Chain A
């Protein structure tokens, strides 16, 4: 409910029950704070947000209160400007600054520091303290985070985020009074996969981005753009920062529905592949039969394209789940829908099919990550999202708080009152049931965690569905314990307000995905006649544009390979894809044999090596485009820098090649035209990508014909940047693909999806975000980026499989080998980033400890894994918390190529 409060005599509308600090900030008022954070709530410890509060109209005195600790009530009267409150706040900052070093000039936080901003805001500009300051020894916290403890102001945000919010255990507060220390028990890598958020959560320069430090630039000198993470299917929103042609860092870009204030460490530190020495920077041609090739200039390239593509009227095109929707569409246009193939493996195609079916035909809605956080009972089937879709794991960590939180709210404790809420709910957690083949990082918060082979996970899921809705297939021969567990899960889901089922493609099992969809369907049947909220179904996919590619209805790659490419033309065009990761080498070889191969990509791999023409494609950082995340949310990313001369976005290469080969058929188009054409040809897009909507992305209509500058107005050195080459300042690169410009000039207060960085007068830190939200923690002004493309069908056909799979039976001497996703080392692009490489553990096969003992193995011993078409040698990790007869093989082992997981293999100790 909205109420009104009086602040310094002016009336403001606020949400009843919000704390006063939140209310003031939501109304755009400047009130300094430290310990409060919109995600973490209030603890009232720093005393920085003090205001005067008056009991009544007649109260002239007032009393000092902490704004973050008081609820806004109808008609309440406070003052920020009261001289005593002003003095009090200046004093607070003075004592917070007592031990603070005077090192802003050499501090990475300098110029985007909340402490600087608040110090200026309170007017404290003179240090009276004349004694020694306490100093600390810094720790080596690994490749991601730099530590500089002397700058700490003891606000406790770091530990409240790391421990309370993200469930990390290896960071803590040590000592007492002015010897407080925030760090690890001893030097060592911060283990939480969300550690990078400390960079933004800490209001000072204690925790800063170590990868950024390696090529540091002040915030105001970075050229920044709104982007989307390309390292998993969730599509978290990011801000990319560039200087001198290099991507320098990734920061969170707020999206209330997707990633909120946070990112995972893969997303934050995986960017460096863009700057890699390995990048393909020149077009490269190789005549058929020749071993080596040559670099080509633009004209020669297009000629070569034309000759390769023209001669052939049935080209074959292979798309990519990590290329933009526009690039995939441009390829489909070039080769024709009949010859457009999906660039994913046969297994993946089937898994995606199961997910798409659930999304498109099922009656259950896919929630956003924000909605996942507010689910109050969860069933997780098959995979550990910490490794496959990290931010989902963080959202699930919040969902287990929902039920206990309700108790706290019933007791009259406002949700923002963090210490009181935590004090009341203690260790209590709402229901989260986990059923996976191997231990997960969420087991610590799980109500019950079951270890089972995928088929048995699916059987459990279907048993739950059957308990909820007898129409779902019965599961024969289920053990009593599993049956009882199914009943407990069903009861928890049925009694919840917002039950959620989570699964995805990472577990490699379509039956598990079907089972997850079945549970969600059963819940929606059971709840159909009631008033309660419908259930939710969250399914992860493998790559950043898996769903976008699928929406273009590509044919399965396996079909093409099986036929050895019979009936398709003599030239294959491969878009941002290494086919040798997607299919057995013999099959790919057979396809490529005797064909001309054109490959567009930014990093070299086995497929580019075979190409007759390699076109250097722009990465996400140098191009604009659209990705569709697992939720079916189409989101635009915008280039942070213009690509180097010979590099072009894939869609532009493809259109250029198309025009060169068949000029009449493919006149030159803009990205906007291409989007409109794509929308017209794609049912899911037609309604949301109206010409008006696409025009907003690329044109300047929105802000009085002005573009939005990517550089800040105080960017320095623009005239000197290229002076070593030419003293004449070049004109800035044009950007026809977005409504942003590579300049300092233009419309500098954008909203919605075009915000290139957060800054407002007096607010230089990331917390300037406050000024861009319609309400703190709510939507951004101008709307949050992205549009949802897929909504559930009103009364869909039931999504039940015909029957339950048989229980998994381990055979003697044979193991079911499953893919094990890994947050670091398990994704193709981020694997090219040095900081992530440092965090990538040795690839080891995970075996159940008993199986290991039977083979006479100890942890770390080498084994041989053999199956038809597969022979691997690697060390083992033995785990009790796994399934006998099931082995887990890490994804993305470099040089290992394609493996048709899951597969059945024999495993034995490797001969010495």
Chain B
């Protein structure tokens, strides 16, 4: 049975006609182009690259940016696209998040005109793919400790270091690399594919985000023009500013994955009969799980919507986005686990979407700031006492 719209609290009455239309486009696309092929890609561990031009044509890359061929969507509209994409697959949504929020956004926000003109139209059209290199083998939650260095030599920078867990790394035409200059300040650099000294390889053996490319990057005396430095930002606030954009999208995206799992579990529970020929949906313990899910999904929608409206008004600082990312990904993972339970043995096979979402969400729980790091961000905000170290 096809996915049925999930809306318990008449959430739709909070949306404008245009917002609903944007969601409809994304949902139709996912239903027609993603659902039929995603289990195969997940099984093979391959990225559905043929979807890139279609995603571009629909305007999904850099959807909330203005100019350069971008659609100029509101934050709620952008969020609804993320929700629908992740209803399909977290890996696909990750690709769009990285392209939009982690590559196009920093070029848009911190780049000069030459950099914007060179990259944004191509990235918007999907003619170029980007990746974002912040995490290193030794520095994940604490990126400020990064070891990657950029040394100035005349009109060039020389990059040395290693990045790890980089989404789209080996397929990217341009990498936004965060590195420390000689004065110890974090700066962003654009590194083009094929630059001598720049190498990318893929992480294999993943049980999560299998339909997304995850790579390691190595830079060994990798020389780039000094003009590839993003001039507009210095320090950790550069990459963190990008992460705030991406985490916002994840908050919506996770809601989509939760909806997919809930819908699968609800349909299954109404059909599947155990004990006295009664559907398992008639048992209190099963209803408890379904009721928990729809309640959490409804709360998550409201949180996402409110942060989106705040963001449109320029009032959503990173700490609010942290709450959105933390709560919604956690609830989605719980929904996936409960749905898996309700599907019994069928829950472990890829005839159903649930186990795939569950495994994907384990990554989403960790990347872009782990669940606990977001707790610390909120804790810092409300107590004024940073507790990271």
Pairing of A with B: no
- B interface residues, Cβ below 8 angstroms from A: none
